[in-house]
Structure 1
Amino acid sequence: MNFFYVLNGKLVKQVFLVVIAAFFTAWFLYMENLVNVPVFSGKNGPKAIYKGEKDIALTFNIGWGDEKAEPILDVLKAENVKTATFFLSGSWAERHPTIVERIVKEGYEIGILGYNYEDYTELDEAKVRKDLIRAQEAFKKLNVKDIKLVRAPTGHFDQKTLKIADRLGLTVVHWSIDSKDWSNPGVEVIIDNVSDAKKGDIVLLHASDSAKQTAQALPSIINKVKNKNLKLVTVSEMIANANADSKEIN
Protein backbone atom coordinates (compact mmCIF):
# COMPACT_ATOMS: atom_id res chain seq x y z
CA MET A 1 0.00 0.00 0.00
CA ASN A 2 2.83 2.39 0.82
CA PHE A 3 4.36 1.64 -2.59
CA PHE A 4 1.03 2.54 -4.22
CA TYR A 5 1.01 6.00 -2.59
CA VAL A 6 4.61 6.65 -3.59
CA LEU A 7 3.83 5.93 -7.24
CA ASN A 8 0.80 8.20 -7.15
CA GLY A 9 2.81 10.94 -5.47
CA LYS A 10 5.33 10.86 -8.29
CA LEU A 11 2.55 10.79 -10.86
CA VAL A 12 0.85 13.81 -9.31
CA LYS A 13 4.15 15.70 -9.26
CA GLN A 14 4.77 14.91 -12.93
CA VAL A 15 1.27 15.99 -13.93
CA PHE A 16 1.66 19.19 -11.92
CA LEU A 17 4.93 20.05 -13.68
CA VAL A 18 3.37 19.37 -17.09
CA VAL A 19 0.41 21.63 -16.28
CA ILE A 20 2.71 24.43 -15.08
CA ALA A 21 4.89 24.12 -18.18
CA ALA A 22 1.83 24.20 -20.43
CA PHE A 23 0.50 27.26 -18.62
CA PHE A 24 3.72 29.23 -19.04
CA THR A 25 4.03 28.17 -22.68
CA ALA A 26 0.49 29.37 -23.38
CA TRP A 27 1.12 32.59 -21.49
CA PHE A 28 4.33 33.23 -23.44
CA LEU A 29 2.61 32.65 -26.79
CA TYR A 30 -0.24 34.92 -25.74
CA MET A 31 2.15 37.71 -24.79
CA GLU A 32 4.07 37.25 -28.05
CA ASN A 33 0.88 37.85 -30.01
CA LEU A 34 -0.34 40.89 -28.13
CA VAL A 35 -0.47 44.05 -30.23
CA ASN A 36 1.90 46.39 -28.46
CA VAL A 37 4.87 48.66 -28.74
CA PRO A 38 7.70 47.51 -26.47
CA VAL A 39 9.22 50.35 -24.51
CA PHE A 40 11.75 51.22 -21.86
CA SER A 41 10.17 53.04 -18.93
CA GLY A 42 10.10 53.74 -15.26
CA LYS A 43 7.40 52.08 -13.18
CA ASN A 44 4.74 54.65 -13.97
CA GLY A 45 6.65 57.21 -15.98
CA PRO A 46 7.04 58.17 -19.64
CA LYS A 47 8.35 55.64 -22.08
CA ALA A 48 11.04 55.21 -24.73
CA ILE A 49 9.97 53.20 -27.73
CA TYR A 50 12.34 50.71 -29.30
CA LYS A 51 10.02 48.50 -31.34
CA GLY A 52 6.66 48.76 -33.08
CA GLU A 53 3.83 46.39 -33.85
CA LYS A 54 4.15 46.15 -37.63
CA ASP A 55 6.17 47.18 -40.68
CA ILE A 56 9.79 48.41 -40.44
CA ALA A 57 11.18 51.89 -39.75
CA LEU A 58 14.56 52.92 -41.13
CA THR A 59 16.08 55.65 -38.96
CA PHE A 60 19.18 57.70 -39.71
CA ASN A 61 21.22 59.64 -37.13
CA ILE A 62 23.11 62.71 -38.32
CA GLY A 63 25.35 64.53 -35.87
CA TRP A 64 28.20 65.86 -38.01
CA GLY A 65 29.66 66.06 -41.49
CA ASP A 66 28.42 67.25 -44.86
CA GLU A 67 29.32 64.43 -47.25
CA LYS A 68 27.14 61.39 -46.49
CA ALA A 69 23.64 62.75 -45.89
CA GLU A 70 22.83 63.61 -49.50
CA PRO A 71 24.08 60.30 -50.96
CA ILE A 72 21.75 58.56 -48.48
CA LEU A 73 18.88 60.74 -49.69
CA ASP A 74 19.84 59.95 -53.29
CA VAL A 75 19.64 56.21 -52.60
CA LEU A 76 16.25 56.52 -50.89
CA LYS A 77 14.94 58.45 -53.88
CA ALA A 78 16.40 55.96 -56.38
CA GLU A 79 14.84 53.06 -54.46
CA ASN A 80 11.50 54.89 -54.26
CA VAL A 81 11.53 54.90 -50.46
CA LYS A 82 9.29 57.75 -49.41
CA THR A 83 9.22 57.13 -45.66
CA ALA A 84 12.14 57.20 -43.22
CA THR A 85 12.96 59.07 -40.04
CA PHE A 86 16.05 61.27 -39.69
CA PHE A 87 17.24 62.17 -36.21
CA LEU A 88 19.26 65.36 -36.57
CA SER A 89 21.30 67.21 -33.99
CA GLY A 90 20.26 70.84 -33.68
CA SER A 91 23.81 72.11 -34.18
CA TRP A 92 24.20 70.08 -37.40
CA ALA A 93 20.83 71.27 -38.70
CA GLU A 94 21.81 74.90 -38.16
CA ARG A 95 24.95 74.39 -40.24
CA HIS A 96 23.15 72.49 -43.02
CA PRO A 97 19.81 74.20 -43.61
CA THR A 98 19.75 73.21 -47.29
CA ILE A 99 19.98 69.49 -46.48
CA VAL A 100 17.35 69.86 -43.76
CA GLU A 101 15.10 71.57 -46.29
CA ARG A 102 15.63 68.69 -48.73
CA ILE A 103 14.77 66.09 -46.07
CA VAL A 104 11.52 67.92 -45.32
CA LYS A 105 10.71 68.56 -48.99
CA GLU A 106 11.13 64.88 -49.87
CA GLY A 107 8.66 63.95 -47.18
CA TYR A 108 10.85 62.31 -44.57
CA GLU A 109 10.20 62.61 -40.87
CA ILE A 110 12.57 64.55 -38.64
CA GLY A 111 13.33 63.79 -35.02
CA ILE A 112 15.72 65.55 -32.64
CA LEU A 113 19.16 64.10 -31.83
CA GLY A 114 19.75 66.64 -29.08
CA TYR A 115 21.67 69.80 -29.85
CA ASN A 116 25.22 68.82 -28.90
CA TYR A 117 26.58 65.29 -28.93
CA GLU A 118 26.47 64.64 -25.18
CA ASP A 119 25.65 61.64 -23.01
CA TYR A 120 22.43 62.60 -21.25
CA THR A 121 23.03 60.13 -18.45
CA GLU A 122 26.12 62.14 -17.46
CA LEU A 123 24.34 65.52 -17.42
CA ASP A 124 22.16 66.94 -14.70
CA GLU A 125 18.50 67.64 -15.36
CA ALA A 126 18.98 71.34 -16.12
CA LYS A 127 21.63 70.65 -18.78
CA VAL A 128 19.58 67.94 -20.50
CA ARG A 129 16.57 70.26 -20.60
CA LYS A 130 18.69 73.13 -21.94
CA ASP A 131 20.13 70.94 -24.70
CA LEU A 132 16.71 69.75 -25.83
CA ILE A 133 15.15 73.21 -25.74
CA ARG A 134 18.07 74.60 -27.72
CA ALA A 135 17.51 71.89 -30.34
CA GLN A 136 13.79 72.63 -30.50
CA GLU A 137 14.52 76.32 -31.04
CA ALA A 138 17.01 75.52 -33.79
CA PHE A 139 14.42 73.54 -35.74
CA LYS A 140 11.76 76.21 -35.25
CA LYS A 141 14.12 78.74 -36.83
CA LEU A 142 14.50 76.35 -39.76
CA ASN A 143 10.71 76.19 -40.02
CA VAL A 144 10.60 72.50 -39.10
CA LYS A 145 7.45 72.26 -37.04
CA ASP A 146 5.70 69.76 -34.80
CA ILE A 147 8.67 67.53 -34.03
CA LYS A 148 7.49 64.89 -31.59
CA LEU A 149 10.39 62.41 -31.52
CA VAL A 150 13.81 62.56 -29.90
CA ARG A 151 16.74 60.16 -29.69
CA ALA A 152 19.42 60.48 -27.05
CA PRO A 153 22.58 61.70 -28.87
CA THR A 154 24.76 58.82 -27.69
CA GLY A 155 21.90 56.35 -27.37
CA HIS A 156 22.21 56.46 -23.57
CA PHE A 157 19.27 57.68 -21.54
CA ASP A 158 17.65 57.22 -18.15
CA GLN A 159 14.41 58.04 -16.35
CA LYS A 160 15.53 61.63 -15.99
CA THR A 161 15.81 61.92 -19.77
CA LEU A 162 12.41 60.32 -20.29
CA LYS A 163 10.72 62.72 -17.88
CA ILE A 164 12.33 65.85 -19.35
CA ALA A 165 11.51 64.78 -22.91
CA ASP A 166 7.93 64.07 -21.92
CA ARG A 167 7.55 67.53 -20.35
CA LEU A 168 8.76 69.03 -23.62
CA GLY A 169 6.23 67.03 -25.63
CA LEU A 170 8.77 64.58 -26.99
CA THR A 171 8.83 60.78 -27.15
CA VAL A 172 12.22 59.09 -26.80
CA VAL A 173 12.95 56.59 -29.59
CA HIS A 174 15.60 53.88 -29.30
CA TRP A 175 16.04 50.97 -31.74
CA SER A 176 15.70 47.20 -31.94
CA ILE A 177 18.18 46.56 -34.79
CA ASP A 178 21.64 48.15 -34.82
CA SER A 179 23.31 48.06 -38.23
CA LYS A 180 26.65 49.04 -36.64
CA ASP A 181 27.36 50.99 -39.80
CA TRP A 182 29.15 53.65 -37.76
CA SER A 183 32.04 51.20 -37.28
CA ASN A 184 32.43 50.65 -41.05
CA PRO A 185 32.65 46.85 -40.71
CA GLY A 186 32.11 46.31 -44.44
CA VAL A 187 29.05 46.64 -46.68
CA GLU A 188 28.12 42.96 -46.44
CA VAL A 189 28.39 42.99 -42.66
CA ILE A 190 26.06 45.99 -42.43
CA ILE A 191 23.56 44.24 -44.70
CA ASP A 192 23.83 41.07 -42.62
CA ASN A 193 23.31 43.01 -39.38
CA VAL A 194 19.95 44.20 -40.68
CA SER A 195 18.97 41.00 -42.51
CA ASP A 196 17.03 39.58 -39.55
CA ALA A 197 14.80 42.65 -39.31
CA LYS A 198 11.14 41.71 -38.98
CA LYS A 199 7.85 43.46 -38.49
CA GLY A 200 7.97 46.12 -35.83
CA ASP A 201 11.72 46.65 -35.91
CA ILE A 202 13.25 50.11 -35.72
CA VAL A 203 16.58 50.02 -37.56
CA LEU A 204 19.48 52.25 -36.54
CA LEU A 205 21.54 53.64 -39.42
CA HIS A 206 23.73 56.72 -39.75
CA ALA A 207 24.16 59.47 -42.31
CA SER A 208 27.00 61.25 -40.55
CA ASP A 209 30.37 61.31 -42.29
CA SER A 210 31.69 58.58 -40.00
CA ALA A 211 29.38 56.07 -41.71
CA LYS A 212 31.26 55.60 -44.95
CA GLN A 213 29.56 52.40 -46.16
CA THR A 214 25.88 53.01 -45.40
CA ALA A 215 24.88 54.36 -48.81
CA GLN A 216 26.39 51.28 -50.48
CA ALA A 217 24.61 48.90 -48.13
CA LEU A 218 21.25 50.64 -48.26
CA PRO A 219 19.91 49.30 -51.61
CA SER A 220 20.33 45.69 -50.47
CA ILE A 221 18.81 46.46 -47.06
CA ILE A 222 15.77 48.01 -48.76
CA ASN A 223 15.40 45.11 -51.18
CA LYS A 224 15.55 42.56 -48.38
CA VAL A 225 12.78 44.39 -46.53
CA LYS A 226 10.63 44.52 -49.66
CA ASN A 227 11.24 40.82 -50.33
CA LYS A 228 9.75 40.08 -46.90
CA ASN A 229 6.60 41.94 -48.00
CA LEU A 230 7.12 44.45 -45.23
CA LYS A 231 6.27 48.11 -45.59
CA LEU A 232 8.76 50.86 -44.77
CA VAL A 233 7.20 53.49 -42.50
CA THR A 234 8.20 56.41 -40.33
CA VAL A 235 8.54 55.90 -36.59
CA SER A 236 5.42 58.00 -36.02
CA GLU A 237 3.43 55.84 -38.43
CA MET A 238 4.70 52.73 -36.69
CA ILE A 239 3.66 53.76 -33.21
CA ALA A 240 0.39 55.53 -34.08
CA ASN A 241 -2.60 54.15 -32.16
CA ALA A 242 -0.51 51.39 -30.61
CA ASN A 243 -0.70 50.05 -27.09
CA ALA A 244 2.46 50.10 -25.00
CA ASP A 245 4.13 47.43 -22.95
CA SER A 246 6.86 48.59 -20.60
CA LYS A 247 10.29 47.42 -19.55
CA GLU A 248 11.65 49.12 -16.47
CA ILE A 249 14.98 50.93 -16.63
CA ASN A 250 17.07 52.31 -13.77
Structure 2
Amino acid sequence: MKSFRPKLAKRAVRIGTALLLTALTFGSSYVTYAKTKTEAPLSKTPEAIYKVQTNQKVVALTFDISWGEKSPGPILDILAQKHVDKATFFLSGPWVLHHQEIAKRIKSMGFEIGSHGYMHKNYSEFSEGWIREQVQKADASLQEVLNVKTRLIRTPNGDFNKQVLSTLHSMGYSTIQWNTDSLDWMNPGVEAIKNRVLTRVVPGDIILMHASDSCKQTHLALPAVIDGLREKGYRFATVTELVKGAATHSTVQ
Protein backbone atom coordinates (compact mmCIF):
# COMPACT_ATOMS: atom_id res chain seq x y z
CA MET A 1 0.00 0.00 0.00
CA LYS A 2 1.29 3.47 -0.91
CA SER A 3 1.88 5.95 1.85
CA PHE A 4 0.17 9.34 1.50
CA ARG A 5 2.04 10.92 4.40
CA PRO A 6 4.65 12.74 2.26
CA LYS A 7 1.94 14.29 0.10
CA LEU A 8 -0.13 15.23 3.11
CA ALA A 9 2.93 16.71 4.76
CA LYS A 10 3.73 18.81 1.67
CA ARG A 11 0.11 19.96 1.45
CA ALA A 12 0.15 20.90 5.12
CA VAL A 13 3.32 22.93 4.59
CA ARG A 14 1.73 24.75 1.64
CA ILE A 15 -1.43 25.48 3.59
CA GLY A 16 0.56 26.59 6.61
CA THR A 17 2.69 28.91 4.46
CA ALA A 18 -0.41 30.41 2.85
CA LEU A 19 -2.02 31.00 6.23
CA LEU A 20 1.16 32.58 7.54
CA LEU A 21 1.39 34.94 4.55
CA THR A 22 -2.24 35.87 4.97
CA ALA A 23 -1.71 36.57 8.65
CA LEU A 24 1.37 38.68 7.94
CA THR A 25 -0.46 40.64 5.26
CA PHE A 26 -3.44 41.25 7.52
CA GLY A 27 -1.15 42.20 10.38
CA SER A 28 0.74 44.66 8.20
CA SER A 29 -2.52 46.22 7.04
CA TYR A 30 -3.74 46.50 10.60
CA VAL A 31 -0.54 48.19 11.74
CA THR A 32 -0.80 50.70 8.88
CA TYR A 33 -4.42 51.38 9.78
CA ALA A 34 -3.63 51.77 13.44
CA LYS A 35 -0.96 54.35 12.67
CA THR A 36 -3.20 56.45 10.43
CA LYS A 37 -6.50 56.13 12.31
CA THR A 38 -8.00 59.51 13.22
CA GLU A 39 -7.85 60.35 16.90
CA ALA A 40 -10.97 61.42 18.74
CA PRO A 41 -11.70 65.16 19.05
CA LEU A 42 -10.35 66.97 22.10
CA SER A 43 -13.90 67.58 23.32
CA LYS A 44 -16.50 64.86 23.87
CA THR A 45 -19.36 66.90 22.43
CA PRO A 46 -19.65 69.29 19.45
CA GLU A 47 -18.46 72.66 20.71
CA ALA A 48 -16.22 75.60 19.92
CA ILE A 49 -13.26 76.05 22.25
CA TYR A 50 -12.33 79.62 23.18
CA LYS A 51 -10.07 79.18 26.20
CA VAL A 52 -9.48 76.80 29.10
CA GLN A 53 -10.15 77.16 32.80
CA THR A 54 -6.83 77.17 34.63
CA ASN A 55 -4.98 79.09 37.31
CA GLN A 56 -1.71 78.61 35.46
CA LYS A 57 -0.38 81.48 33.39
CA VAL A 58 -0.26 79.64 30.11
CA VAL A 59 -1.59 80.76 26.72
CA ALA A 60 -1.70 79.52 23.14
CA LEU A 61 -0.51 81.83 20.37
CA THR A 62 -2.34 80.96 17.16
CA PHE A 63 -1.76 82.19 13.62
CA ASP A 64 -4.15 81.84 10.68
CA ILE A 65 -2.76 81.76 7.13
CA SER A 66 -4.91 81.88 4.01
CA TRP A 67 -2.88 83.83 1.49
CA GLY A 68 0.46 85.43 0.75
CA GLU A 69 4.13 84.62 1.23
CA LYS A 70 5.64 87.81 2.70
CA SER A 71 4.34 87.74 6.29
CA PRO A 72 5.03 84.14 7.40
CA GLY A 73 8.82 84.37 7.11
CA PRO A 74 9.32 87.38 9.41
CA ILE A 75 6.87 85.94 11.95
CA LEU A 76 8.70 82.61 12.00
CA ASP A 77 12.01 84.46 12.35
CA ILE A 78 10.70 86.37 15.38
CA LEU A 79 9.36 83.23 17.03
CA ALA A 80 12.79 81.64 16.59
CA GLN A 81 14.65 84.72 17.86
CA LYS A 82 12.39 84.90 20.91
CA HIS A 83 12.75 81.17 21.55
CA VAL A 84 9.01 80.54 21.25
CA ASP A 85 8.74 76.91 20.23
CA LYS A 86 5.07 76.41 21.10
CA ALA A 87 2.43 77.92 18.80
CA THR A 88 -0.37 76.65 16.56
CA PHE A 89 -0.75 77.55 12.89
CA PHE A 90 -4.09 77.09 11.11
CA LEU A 91 -3.33 76.67 7.41
CA SER A 92 -5.78 76.72 4.50
CA GLY A 93 -5.54 73.95 1.92
CA PRO A 94 -4.82 76.12 -1.15
CA TRP A 95 -2.16 78.10 0.73
CA VAL A 96 -0.34 74.91 1.70
CA LEU A 97 -0.38 73.69 -1.90
CA HIS A 98 0.91 77.00 -3.28
CA HIS A 99 3.49 77.74 -0.58
CA GLN A 100 4.85 74.33 0.25
CA GLU A 101 8.31 75.41 1.40
CA ILE A 102 6.93 77.87 3.94
CA ALA A 103 4.45 75.28 5.18
CA LYS A 104 7.27 72.77 5.55
CA ARG A 105 9.31 75.33 7.49
CA ILE A 106 6.43 75.77 9.95
CA LYS A 107 6.32 72.02 10.47
CA SER A 108 10.12 71.68 10.70
CA MET A 109 10.19 74.29 13.48
CA GLY A 110 7.95 72.01 15.52
CA PHE A 111 4.83 74.17 15.56
CA GLU A 112 1.43 72.56 15.79
CA ILE A 113 -0.61 72.61 12.59
CA GLY A 114 -4.38 72.85 12.33
CA SER A 115 -6.73 73.13 9.38
CA HIS A 116 -8.18 76.43 8.21
CA GLY A 117 -10.41 74.75 5.66
CA TYR A 118 -10.23 75.12 1.91
CA MET A 119 -12.36 77.89 0.40
CA HIS A 120 -12.46 80.95 2.66
CA LYS A 121 -16.24 81.08 3.02
CA ASN A 122 -18.62 81.00 5.96
CA TYR A 123 -19.47 77.37 6.68
CA SER A 124 -22.81 78.23 8.28
CA GLU A 125 -24.14 79.26 4.87
CA PHE A 126 -23.65 75.82 3.32
CA SER A 127 -24.87 72.23 3.56
CA GLU A 128 -23.29 69.44 5.57
CA GLY A 129 -22.08 67.83 2.34
CA TRP A 130 -20.31 71.01 1.26
CA ILE A 131 -18.65 71.35 4.68
CA ARG A 132 -17.40 67.76 4.55
CA GLU A 133 -16.01 68.26 1.05
CA GLN A 134 -14.15 71.42 2.05
CA VAL A 135 -12.64 69.86 5.15
CA GLN A 136 -11.62 66.72 3.29
CA LYS A 137 -9.91 68.76 0.56
CA ALA A 138 -7.99 70.74 3.16
CA ASP A 139 -7.13 67.51 4.96
CA ALA A 140 -5.79 66.02 1.72
CA SER A 141 -3.61 69.11 1.14
CA LEU A 142 -2.06 68.90 4.61
CA GLN A 143 -1.39 65.20 4.23
CA GLU A 144 0.04 65.52 0.71
CA VAL A 145 2.49 68.33 1.50
CA LEU A 146 3.21 67.90 5.21
CA ASN A 147 2.14 64.34 6.00
CA VAL A 148 0.06 65.82 8.81
CA LYS A 149 -3.33 64.54 9.97
CA THR A 150 -4.64 67.21 12.30
CA ARG A 151 -7.72 67.07 14.50
CA LEU A 152 -7.87 70.85 15.00
CA ILE A 153 -9.79 73.21 12.75
CA ARG A 154 -10.50 76.92 12.77
CA THR A 155 -13.24 77.68 10.31
CA PRO A 156 -12.78 80.61 7.91
CA ASN A 157 -13.74 83.86 9.66
CA GLY A 158 -14.38 81.80 12.80
CA ASP A 159 -17.89 81.24 11.45
CA PHE A 160 -20.02 78.34 12.66
CA ASN A 161 -23.44 77.20 13.80
CA LYS A 162 -24.70 74.00 15.42
CA GLN A 163 -24.67 72.11 12.13
CA VAL A 164 -21.07 73.11 11.47
CA LEU A 165 -19.95 72.06 14.94
CA SER A 166 -21.80 68.74 14.73
CA THR A 167 -20.39 67.96 11.28
CA LEU A 168 -16.81 68.80 12.23
CA HIS A 169 -17.04 66.81 15.46
CA SER A 170 -18.34 63.76 13.57
CA MET A 171 -15.28 64.04 11.31
CA GLY A 172 -12.97 63.91 14.32
CA TYR A 173 -12.25 67.64 14.53
CA SER A 174 -12.23 70.06 17.44
CA THR A 175 -13.33 73.58 16.46
CA ILE A 176 -10.88 76.13 17.87
CA GLN A 177 -11.91 79.76 18.33
CA TRP A 178 -10.16 82.41 20.42
CA ASN A 179 -10.74 84.42 23.55
CA THR A 180 -8.43 87.32 22.67
CA ASP A 181 -8.54 88.75 19.16
CA SER A 182 -5.44 90.85 18.50
CA LEU A 183 -7.34 92.63 15.69
CA ASP A 184 -4.12 92.52 13.67
CA TRP A 185 -6.30 91.80 10.62
CA MET A 186 -7.53 95.40 10.88
CA ASN A 187 -3.98 96.82 10.81
CA PRO A 188 -4.81 99.21 13.69
CA GLY A 189 -1.18 99.99 14.51
CA VAL A 190 1.60 98.20 16.36
CA GLU A 191 0.77 99.71 19.76
CA ALA A 192 -2.92 98.92 19.36
CA ILE A 193 -2.21 95.25 18.62
CA LYS A 194 0.20 94.95 21.54
CA ASN A 195 -2.06 96.75 24.01
CA ARG A 196 -5.14 94.78 23.00
CA VAL A 197 -3.44 91.46 23.66
CA LEU A 198 -1.72 92.48 26.89
CA THR A 199 -4.79 94.12 28.42
CA ARG A 200 -7.19 91.27 27.56
CA VAL A 201 -5.11 88.15 28.11
CA VAL A 202 -6.16 85.73 30.87
CA PRO A 203 -4.78 82.37 32.02
CA GLY A 204 -5.75 79.65 29.56
CA ASP A 205 -6.25 82.11 26.72
CA ILE A 206 -6.25 81.29 23.02
CA ILE A 207 -4.88 84.35 21.20
CA LEU A 208 -5.78 85.03 17.58
CA MET A 209 -3.14 86.47 15.25
CA HIS A 210 -2.54 86.15 11.51
CA ALA A 211 0.38 85.45 9.18
CA SER A 212 -1.40 86.30 5.94
CA ASP A 213 -0.01 89.13 3.83
CA SER A 214 -3.11 91.28 4.41
CA CYS A 215 -1.99 91.66 8.04
CA LYS A 216 0.93 94.00 7.62
CA GLN A 217 1.68 94.87 11.26
CA THR A 218 1.66 91.49 12.99
CA HIS A 219 5.39 90.90 12.68
CA LEU A 220 6.08 94.41 13.96
CA ALA A 221 3.90 93.96 17.05
CA LEU A 222 4.81 90.34 17.79
CA PRO A 223 8.13 90.97 19.63
CA ALA A 224 6.43 93.34 22.09
CA VAL A 225 3.50 90.94 22.50
CA ILE A 226 5.84 88.06 23.36
CA ASP A 227 7.95 90.17 25.72
CA GLY A 228 4.87 91.63 27.38
CA LEU A 229 3.29 88.22 27.96
CA ARG A 230 6.49 86.92 29.50
CA GLU A 231 6.77 89.97 31.75
CA LYS A 232 3.28 89.12 33.00
CA GLY A 233 4.50 85.61 33.81
CA TYR A 234 2.92 83.77 30.89
CA ARG A 235 4.40 80.77 29.10
CA PHE A 236 3.36 79.36 25.75
CA ALA A 237 1.69 76.08 24.81
CA THR A 238 0.13 74.57 21.72
CA VAL A 239 -3.66 74.49 21.55
CA THR A 240 -3.65 70.73 22.15
CA GLU A 241 -1.41 71.05 25.20
CA LEU A 242 -3.56 73.86 26.54
CA VAL A 243 -6.84 71.97 26.10
CA LYS A 244 -5.53 68.70 27.46
CA GLY A 245 -4.19 70.46 30.53
CA ALA A 246 -7.41 72.05 31.71
CA ALA A 247 -11.18 72.23 31.32
CA THR A 248 -12.37 74.04 28.20
CA HIS A 249 -14.61 77.10 28.04
CA SER A 250 -16.84 76.48 25.05
CA THR A 251 -20.15 77.25 23.41
CA VAL A 252 -22.58 75.83 20.88
CA GLN A 253 -24.07 79.12 19.77
Overall identity of the aligned pairs, in %? 40
How far 1:242 moved relative to its partner? 3.1
2:69 alignment partner, one of 66, 70, 73: 66
The aligned counterpart of 1:7 is none
Tell me which amino acid in the other structure corresponds to 1:74.
D
1:160 corresponds to which of 147, 157, 163? 163
Map Cα deviations across residues 113-132 of structure 1 (whole Å, 9 max, x no partner). 00110100111111111000
How far apart, in 2, do the equivalents of 1:144 and 1:168 lie? 18
* 1:49 has 2:54 as partner: no
The alignment's TM-score, normalised by the length of structure 2, stands at: 0.79
Q: Deviations over 1:155-210 (max 9, x none)?
A: 11111111111121110000000000011110000001101212111100000001
Tell whether the 8 Å contact from 2:50 to 2:249 is kept in structure 1 after alignment: no
Q: Which position in structure 2 is the counterpart of 1:115?
A: 118
Q: CA deviation at 1:93?
A: 0.5
Task: Provide Cα deviations, 1:56-92, integer angstroms capped at 9, x if missing partner.
Answer: 1100000001110111001101111001000010110
**Unmatched 5+ residue regions in structure 2?**
1-42
How many residue pairs match? The answer is 207
> Shift in Å at residue 246 of structure 1?
4.7
**Partner residue of 2:173?**
170
Amino acid at match of 2:246: A
Which 4+ runs in 1 deviate beyond 4 A?
Answer: none
Amino acid at match of 1:46: P
- Cα 1:63–1:245 change in 2 (3 A) is closer
* 1:241 shift after superposition: 4.6
| Structure 2 equivalent of residue 103 of structure 1 | 106
Checking the alignment, whether the CA contact within 8 Å between 2:62 and 2:208 is kept in structure 1 is yes
User: d(CA) in 2 for partners of 1:176 and 1:144?
Assistant: 30
1:120-161 per-residue CA deviation (whole Å, 9 max, x = no partner) reads 011111111100010001111013323110001111111111
Residue 243 of structure 2: which of 235, 239, 245 is its match? 239
- Look up the match of 2:27: none
Asked if structure 1 preserves the Cα contact closer than 8 Å seen for 2:48 and 2:252, the reply is no
| Distance across 1 between alignment mates of 2:110 and 2:48 | 24
Letter in 2 for 1:202: I
The Cα of 1:218 is off from its aligned counterpart by 0.2
Q: Residue 59 of structure 1 aligns to a residue in which SS? A: strand
Unaligned stretches of 5+ residues in structure 1: 1-40
TM-superposed CA distance for 1:45, in Å, is: 4.2
Quick one: structure 1 residues 245 and 73, their matched pair in 2 at CA, closer, same or farther if it must change by over 3 Å? closer
TM-score, with normalisation over the residues of structure 1?
Answer: 0.79
**Which residue does 2:215 correspond to in 1?**
211
SS in 2 for 1:142: helix
Equivalence for 1:36: none
Aligned-CA RMSD value: 1.5
For 1:107 and 1:183, the matched residues in 2 are separated by 28
The separation in 2 between residues aligned to 1:144 and 1:191, in whole angstroms, is 34
Distance 1:144 1:229 in 2: 35
